Structure 1
């Protein structure tokens, strides 16, 4: 590093989280400047870059972030994912924000997060659940591990529920079949493949955390689209 660069780093005034990291000797002044610059260049928050880049110990970062932002620190170690109120929040939100509903106390839902500057997390969980939300800081590594366990368990449950269903494509009806008598409609309604097809479509929508399902019939085909995270997609 040349002298000019070294002097510019030494003259930086560190504030907030960056100052804590330097004072606690978790990063050097030069390291703090480099991390901040990477975060700016990639349009990320400082915390997000610290998490993504594994620049410091995950537990130490959680402790400092909790103190700096005044958000309680929570230990996930004794938590069992079977006891989490996962029925209140769609999997899509958990995946999107890397956040996890921990417990409900009265009319408030407590959400485990590692990045408190992402203010949209609580707002979106509140919108999805209809319950006021509060955040708890948890160690990033522990949070990712528990989210992986939760998603794997949910997928296992859904896969078990639909194990006897073939893929949706196997049950797409031939729309060119002419139904000439009223009794044919009754037979069609009672046809097991139709029921299985609808169940499969609904299970897939629930698994994706979709808010609504659109069936769009055309002359020779039917398009099925779902709305997930506000976006309508096939």
Structure 2
């Protein structure tokens, strides 16, 4: 299906794409297709070997123009996916961070779509809203850390405030990989690597405050655990 497998793949990976219309992150990740730019009136789409033909048809409809397909290996695809959507994530978080004081964590968690709908949906907005609400609530409470911990039958989110960890939220267990994947994209971590610890960082504004977030992931028997360490740039560690 690829016009020329691996031809110019490295150029596509390195190219800085500015402003193309793109499918949501979950669509790109699930189906292994990523819009990398435009060439000769065609949308350039990099893809993995296990590309879904149905996804190609849907992407063609979404883009409204012919597609030029380029095959890349999984490592190249994951790298480009993370870089491409990391900027989108931070821009979305920044926009929502401006209304931080209006973000109510419990209200947003309560009104999340059903887990089955989130797992099937290609819309990233509900998960982004939940992450933004977690960060906003943590800043309000002067939490130094956010811990996202999957167990066998539950998912727990805890804040560390004044040195004490306390549980603040228990989302549906099946949401763990969605939360972890989105955070890893924002921190420019390897979303495909789940067996080794990783460290990254996110810089954004939360509730009107510039915050540095150090991100650490740690594999466990029940999935990856994530620790977000918050550092207020104006006041030092929260």
TM bucket (normalised to shorter chain) is 0.3 to 0.5
TM-score (norm 1): 0.38
- The structure whose Rg is larger is 1
TM-score (norm 2): 0.38
Higher relative contact order structure (alpha carbons within 8 Å, sequence separation ≥ 6): 2
